[in-house]
Amino acid sequence: MTAPACTRTVRFGVNYTPRVGWFHHWLDFSADDVARDLDTIAELGVDHLRVFPLWPLLQPNRTLIRPRGLADVERVLELAADRGLDVCVDGLQGHLSSFDFVPAWLTSWHRRGMFTDTEAVASTATYLTALAKACAGHPNLLGLTVGNEVSQFTGTAHPEAYPASETDVTDWLQTMIGALRAGAPGTPVLHACYDTTWYDDTQPFTLGHVATLGDATVVHSWVFNGTAQTFGPDAFETRAHARYLIEVARAFQTDPDRPVWLQEVGAPRNVLPASSVLPFIEATLDQLVDTPELFGITWWCSHDVSRSLADFPELEYDLGLIDEHGTIKKEGLVVAAAMNELRRRRAAGATDAERSTLLLDPTELTRRDLAPGGAFWEHYMTIARDGRHPRVTLAATVEA
Amino acid sequence: MTAPACTRTVRFGVNYTPRVGWFHHWLDFSADDVARDLDTIAELGVDHLRVFPLWPLLQPNRTLIRPRGLADVERVLELAADRGLDVCVDGLQGHLSSFDFVPAWLTSWHRRGMFTDTEAVASTATYLTALAKACAGHPNLLGLTVGNEVSQFTGTAHPEAYPASETDVTDWLQTMIGALRAGAPGTPVLHACYDTTWYDDTQPFTLGHVATLGDATVVHSWVFNGTAQTFGPDAFETRAHARYLIEVARAFQTDPDRPVWLQEVGAPRNVLPASSVLPFIEATLDQLVDTPELFGITWWCSHDVSRSLADFPELEYDLGLIDEHGTIKKEGLVVAAAMNELRRRRAAGATDAERSTLLLDPTELTRRDLAPGGAFWEHYMTIARDGRHPRVTLAATVEA
């Protein structure tokens, strides 16, 4: 997985949210259901999907990793391969669409440090190695992620956070990334944070982790984080948000050629009225045209959550490119068309233009300054709004 | 389910702890594995078993009750019927051997009152009705329990307790019992508490609930609650504990003919050295000989927890009557023999003797007085130690 080879092509995928039963489908795994879902997903013109086994189902006891659970993940890889689709597999779910799935051996009477307890960390690593090993033999394995936004489980935002320092997180991520590599040598290995890592000074998962650990800088962009609420659904800032996260994270990279993967981006209807959705999609992707190191874009998500399932935040029911009955939505057609346009323009050389440099001095700024409406944010947006997105560069890097 | 018909026979059963995978077996349900387990269980001479589907697997979303999960429970009923065994099915697990299994729709970001939130309570009731309905058609259905010690989830003992008042619990239990009756009209319906209900004044599940709601008074007796530690593994008090819980609970009954079910009793090795185990079993059952209203005894448990599974309290690995390889243990033979002796003596009229009365005045005592070493406990044990267990009677009942 190297940036140069991917620079112009840009991989296009979806986060696979099974149509029947959402991620509870693992409890009633049906190859027929998955095959039908993937047939529709393939019609979108994607080249890959990201899949999410539920951690408590795969490792229900600390020392029990279910062979049949691993076999079900492998079956998804096979069904995807039959349709020419690559697959990125996430390990620790963990957190999905507001629901937390944590094994009983880490909760309640058995609560212990998810990121710090020696036995818990070792057993989590054992699971990731087993998962990686199961996937490793499949030629369409695109990558392995430690888990979906595992950063959700620490910091001050979570109601039942597992405490961890920045050093704890460094150690933990290195262990988990090593565990995936041990199971699948040579496969790209990632980890993924949500935007508290960019914006919240209490979050021990840092931009240093995002930009230097694993084989790519992974970005999840969600404008319901206050951006769309503050600036409006049709504001430049809202449509520039994904690009902004990429540029800020990239500044913390030590390897300038490191690929960047926009692994989650979606059009949340709680902050985007119907009339804003399609322009949001088009403008968000348009602003990514001249991001040279962009490896891929994986839209959230494939299928709407069924209205028969309760308690999801309202926005989760409408995030799909395919509706709950299996029909491709207008959003799906627009994302696919915008991806084609993005690829066409990149192939035509849109990534090669000169850009201004914007210095970011971490010794003088807090993450609050980077957040929507913060001093650095405003400075960046002023430049970007007037023309091209600036190239953010750490002050320390320039001085060195 | 009426006491008189059962008085002398006393049902004998085991709590079924699957040999392979413990209760995680539901994730990999194998009728062959269950059939083999039940073959061994049947060799113990039992007439019934108690089974425990895991709540988060059966109802992973508040509005998703998995038909295949219900079908697996039905399959256990069928396999038991093939071996002449009746089955009691518990609904809300909930808590099992130190592990908590709570659906994601009741935890973390979705935390809401398990006992008090209108939607949560209604959806829990819907699940119990569905479970009852699935079981109702099976002639070997012996009873339905709301859940295994759901009282674990409230009061001050639990690290993440769901708050509830005594009135909340009354309402909740009535709703859950009604939900089971709605699904399986005519089937005995139970609810089960652990001993904080007897001993802890902060526990909102009360002896009134134990003694008056549902179709039997259910008792779970565990001498690792301080009894064996305080009095010693071979003490009279330790071996009298199950009988004591029965007599105290029975005092709160308004129907004197209400059956009593010792639904859990076991010989925990953390407080009983090897030399004390068999005498403990024999003496515990011997003291139940003259309990006229005793409906049944369901030993905890069928199979030892496999040493391949981590993080159980040490005592849980040795509670089985059958070892982790499927061989009946000495404990199994002794429990079976002691049950035969108990039945023989009851048939011979051992339940008919006169007993002294011991008044219990709830207006003057707290539950702390009932607990091991408390004033009432000591008074009771002094009488029981000298001869027959006294009949505990509420002072108010006598005055009325």
Task: Quote the tokens at residue B310.
Answer: 């981590």
Longest CA pairwise span in chain A (Å): 59
Quick check: B373 contacting A, CB < 8 Å? no
Per residue in B346-366, pLDDT (tens digit) is 999 888 778 999 999 999 999
Quick check: A118 contacting B, CB < 8 Å? no
- List alpha helices for chain B, DSSP H: 3-6, 31-43, 55-58, 67-82, 118-136, 166-183, 196-199, 207-212, 227-231, 236-251, 274-286, 330-347, 367-370, 375-385, 395-399
For this complex, say whether ipTM is above 0.85: yes
Half-sphere exposure of A189 (CA within 13 A, CB side): 27
Q: How far is CA B65 from CA A248, A340, B71, B88, in A?
A: 44, 41, 11, 20
Report the first-to-last Cα separation within chain B, whole angstroms: 28
Question: What's the pLDDT score for residue A301?
Answer: 98
DSSP reduced 3-state for A142: strand
CATH number of A3-356: 3.20.20.80
Instruction: Please name the member of B28, B107, B158 whose beta carbon is closest to the beta carbon of A66.
Output: B28
Quick check: B400 contacting A, CB < 8 Å? no
Q: Beta strand pairing status for A95-96 and A99-100?
A: antiparallel
**List of chain A residues whose C-beta atoms are within 8 Å of the C-beta of residue B159:** 108-109, 111
State how far the Cα of A348 lies from the Cα of A342, in Å rounded to an integer: 10
Quick check: A27 contacting B, CB < 8 Å? yes
Taking the whole predicted model, whether its pTM rises above 0.90 is answered as yes
Q: Do A309 and B61 touch (CB under 8 A)?
A: yes
Q: Beta strand pairing status for A391-394 and A357-360?
A: parallel
Question: What's the pLDDT score for residue B1?
Answer: 54
Residue A132 φ/ψ, nearest 5 degrees: -60, -40
When mean pLDDT is compared across A116-125, B4-13, B40-49, B262-271, the lowest value belongs to B4-13
- C-beta atoms surrounding B224 within 10 Å: 15
Give B21's contacts (C-beta < 8 A, 6+ positions apart): A64, B27, B28
**List of chain A residues whose C-beta atoms are within 8 Å of the C-beta of residue B160:** 107-108, 160
Over range B17-34, report the average pLDDT.
Answer: 98
State how far the Cα of A133 lies from the Cα of A144, in Å rounded to an integer: 11
Cα angle B145-B147-B148, degrees, rounded to a multiple of 5: 110
Give CA torsion, residues B331, B333, B335, B339, to 10 deg: 180
Quick check: B363 contacting A, CB < 8 Å? no
Chain B residue with Cα closest to A62: B310
* Substitution target from B99, B114, B153, B305 for chain A, most A beta carbons within 10 A: B99
**List of chain A residues whose C-beta atoms are within 8 Å of the C-beta of residue B123:** 310
Question: What's the pLDDT score for residue B203?
Answer: 97
DSSP reduced 3-state for B10: coil
State how far the Cα of A201 lies from the Cα of A195, in Å rounded to an integer: 11
Res. B3: pLDDT tops 70: no
Would you report the helix, strand and coil content of chain B in percent, each value rounded to 5?
45, 15, 40
- C-beta atoms surrounding B65 within 10 Å: 18
Question: What's the pLDDT score for residue A397?
Answer: 66
State how far the Cα of A307 lies from the Cα of B246, in Å rounded to an integer: 48
Question: What's the pLDDT score for residue A4?
Answer: 39
* Substitution target from B55, B66, B107, B112 for chain A, most A beta carbons within 10 A: B107
State how far the Cα of A150 lies from the Cα of A152, in Å rounded to an integer: 5
Quick check: A153 contacting B, CB < 8 Å? no
Question: What's the pLDDT score for residue B350?
Answer: 83
Q: Is the peptide bond before A6 cis (omega within 30 degrees of 0)?
A: no
Would you report the helix, strand and coil content of chain A in percent, each value rounded to 5?
45, 15, 40
Q: Do A310 and B28 touch (CB under 8 A)?
A: no
Question: What's the pLDDT score for residue B8?
Answer: 58
Quick check: B110 contacting A, CB < 8 Å? yes
Q: Do B159 and A108 touch (CB under 8 A)?
A: yes
Q: Strand pairing partners for B305?
A: none
Task: Quote the tokens at residue B208.
Answer: 């009134």
Chain A residue with Cα closest to B153: A108
Quick check: B315 contacting A, CB < 8 Å? no
Minimal CA–CA distance to A222: which of A199, A252, A188?
A199
Minimal CA–CA distance to B293: which of B331, B256, B326?
B256
Report residue B177's pLDDT band, with 50, 70 and 90 as the boundaries: very high
Task: Quote the tokens at residue A305.
Answer: 């959550």
- C-beta atoms surrounding A343 within 10 Å: 15
Residue B137 φ/ψ, nearest 5 degrees: -75, -5
Q: How far is CA A211 from CA A99, A250, A259, A370, in A?
A: 27, 6, 10, 16
Run of H or E residues at A71? helix A67-82
Cα–chain center distance at B76: 19
Over range B71-95, report the average pLDDT.
Answer: 98
Q: Identify the DSSP state of A83.
A: T
**List of chain A residues whose C-beta atoms are within 8 Å of the C-beta of residue B153:** none
**List of chain B residues whose C-beta atoms are within 8 Å of the C-beta of residue A149:** none
CATH number of B3-355: 3.20.20.80
**List of chain A residues whose C-beta atoms are within 8 Å of the C-beta of residue B99:** 104-105, 108-110
Count of positions (residues) in chain A: 400
pLDDT along chain A (400 residues), means of 10: 55 98 98 98 98 98 98 98 98 97 97 98 98 98 98 93 97 98 98 98 97 98 97 98 98 96 98 98 96 95 98 97 98 98 92 88 94 97 93 78
Distance from CA of A280 to the nearest CA of B (A): 28
Per residue in B55-80, pLDDT (tens digit) is 999 999 999 999 999 999 999 999 99
Q: Do A28 and B68 touch (CB under 8 A)?
A: yes
Per residue in B231-282, pLDDT (tens digit) is 999 999 999 999 999 999 999 999 999 999 999 999 999 999 999 999 999 9
State how far the Cα of A191 lies from the Cα of A150, in Å rounded to an integer: 8
Instruction: Please name the member of B21, B99, B123 whose beta carbon is closest to the beta carbon of A64.
Output: B21
Task: Indicate if the alpha-carbon torsion angle A143, A145, A149, A155 is positive or negative.
Answer: negative
DSSP reduced 3-state for A229: helix
Distance from CA of B347 to the nearest CA of A (A): 44
Distance from CA of B398 to the nearest CA of A (A): 42
Question: What's the pLDDT score for residue A3?
Answer: 41
Contact yes or no for B236/B383 (Cβ under 8 A): no
Q: Strand pairing partners for A303?
A: A322
Average pLDDT of chain B to the nearest whole number: 95
Q: Which residue has the higher pLDDT, A120 or B398?
A: A120
Chain B residue with Cα closest to A68: B28
Res. B4: pLDDT tops 60: no
Question: What's the pLDDT score for residue B351?
Answer: 81
Per-residue exposure over A23-41, b if at least 16 CB sit within 10 Å of its own CB, e if not: bbbbbebeeeebbebbebb
Quick check: A156 contacting B, CB < 8 Å? no
Per residue in B190-204, pLDDT (tens digit) is 999 999 999 999 999
Quick check: A104 contacting B, CB < 8 Å? yes
Please give the interface size between A and B, counted as residue pairs whose CB atoms are below 8 Å apart: 102
Instruction: Please name the member of A60, A98, A309 whose beta carbon is closest to the beta carbon of B64.
Output: A309
Instruction: Please name the member of B63, B101, B309 whose beta carbon is closest to the beta carbon of A309.
Output: B63
State how far the Cα of A283 lies from the Cα of B247, in Å rounded to an integer: 74
**List of chain A residues whose C-beta atoms are within 8 Å of the C-beta of residue B57:** 27
Q: Where are the domains of chain A?
A: 3-356
**List of chain B residues whose C-beta atoms are within 8 Å of the C-beta of residue A56:** 56
Q: How far is CA B359 from CA B233, B246, B373, B392, in A?
A: 28, 15, 18, 6
Distance from CA of B68 to the nearest CA of A (A): 7
Helix A274-286 vs helix A241-251: angle between axes, to the nearest 10 degrees? 30
Minimal CA–CA distance to B383: which of B356, B359, B364, B362?
B356
Residue B66 φ/ψ, nearest 5 degrees: -80, 115
Q: Beta strand pairing status for B99-100 and B95-96?
A: antiparallel
State the amino acid at position B293 in one-letter form.
Answer: E
Quick check: B307 contacting A, CB < 8 Å? no
- C-beta atoms surrounding B349 within 10 Å: 10
Contact yes or no for A60/A107 (Cβ under 8 A): no
Res. B294: pLDDT tops 50: yes
